[in-house]
Amino acid sequence: MDATAPATPHASDQGTSAQASSAEDTCSPYDVFARDCPSRGTLEHVTGRWGSLTLSAISDSTVRFNELRRRVDGVSEKMLSQTLHALERDGLVNRRSQETNPPRVDYCLTPLGHDVARRLRELFDLVEGRMPEVLAAREAYDARGGR
Amino acid sequence: MDATAPATPHASDQGTSAQASSAEDTCSPYDVFARDCPSRGTLEHVTGRWGSLTLSAISDSTVRFNELRRRVDGVSEKMLSQTLHALERDGLVNRRSQETNPPRVDYCLTPLGHDVARRLRELFDLVEGRMPEVLAAREAYDARGGR
DNA sequence: CAGCATCCCACAGGATACTG
DNA sequence: CAGTATCCTGTGGGATGCTG
List the one residue out of B146, B57, B73 whose CA is nearest residue B108. Answer: B57
Is A52 in the B-facing interface, judged by CB distances under 8 Å?
Answer: yes
**What are the tens digits of pLDDT across the range A42-65?**
999 999 999 999 999 999 999 999
DSSP string, B41-107: HHHHHHHSTTHHHHHHHHTTS-EEHHHHHHHSTT--HHHHHHHHHHHHHTTSEEEEEE--SS-EEEE
Task: Give me the CA B108–C1' D13 separation in Å, rounded.
Answer: 34
In this complex, the residue with its CA at the shortest distance from the C1' of nucleotide D12 is A79
Alpha-carbon distance of B125 to B138, in angstroms, equals 20
**What are the tens digits of pLDDT across the range B29-39?**
999 999 999 99
SS3 A12: coil
Instruction: Verify cis geometry, omega within 30 degrees of 0, for the bond prior to B102.
Output: yes
Q: What is the pLDDT of residue B10?
A: 57
Please tell me the pTM assigned to this model. 0.88
Average pLDDT over residues A132-137: 98
**What are the tens digits of pLDDT across the range B102-132?**
899 999 999 999 999 999 999 999 999 999 9
Q: Which residues of A touch B133 (CB under 8 A)?
A: 91, 112
Which of B33, B49, B95 would you mutate first to test chain A, the one with the most A CBs within 10 A?
B33
Q: Which residues of A touch B39 (CB under 8 A)?
A: 127-128, 131
* A57, A119, A139 member nearest B123 (Cβ): A119
Q: What is the pLDDT of residue A20?
A: 43
List the one residue out of A141, A38, A60 whose CA is nearest residue B24. Answer: A60
List the one residue out of B48, B42, B59, B44 whose CA is nearest residue B107. Answer: B59
For residue A100, what pLDDT band results from cuts at 50, 70 and 90?
Answer: confident
Q: Determine whether the interchain pair B33/A125 forms a contact, defined as Cβ–Cβ distance below 8 Å.
A: no
Q: Which one is predicted more confidently, B111 or A23?
A: B111
Torsion of CA B131, A23, A14, A16, to 10 degrees: 90
Instruction: Please determine, for residue A38, whether its predicted confidence score (pLDDT) is greater than 60.
Output: yes
Asked whether B58 and B109 are in contact (CB, 8 A), the reply is yes
Task: Give me the CA B25–C1' D9 separation in Å, rounded.
Answer: 46
DSSP string, A74-137: T--HHHHHHHHHHHHHTTSEEEEEE--SS-EEEEEE-HHHHHHHHHHHHHHHHHHHTHHHHHHH
| Percent of chain B predicted with pLDDT > 70 | 82
A–B interface: beta-carbon pairs under 8 A? 209
Read off the amino acid at residue B20.
Answer: A
| Alpha-helical segments (H) within A27-76 | 38-47, 51-58, 65-71
Burial class of residue B20 in the structure, from the number of CB atoms within 10 Å of its CB (0-12 exposed, 13-18 middle, 19+ buried) = exposed
Average pLDDT over residues A88-111: 94
For residue B4, what pLDDT band results from cuts at 50, 70 and 90?
Answer: very low
Q: Which residues of B touch A138 (CB under 8 A)?
A: 89-91
Asked whether B131 and A42 are in contact (CB, 8 A), the reply is yes
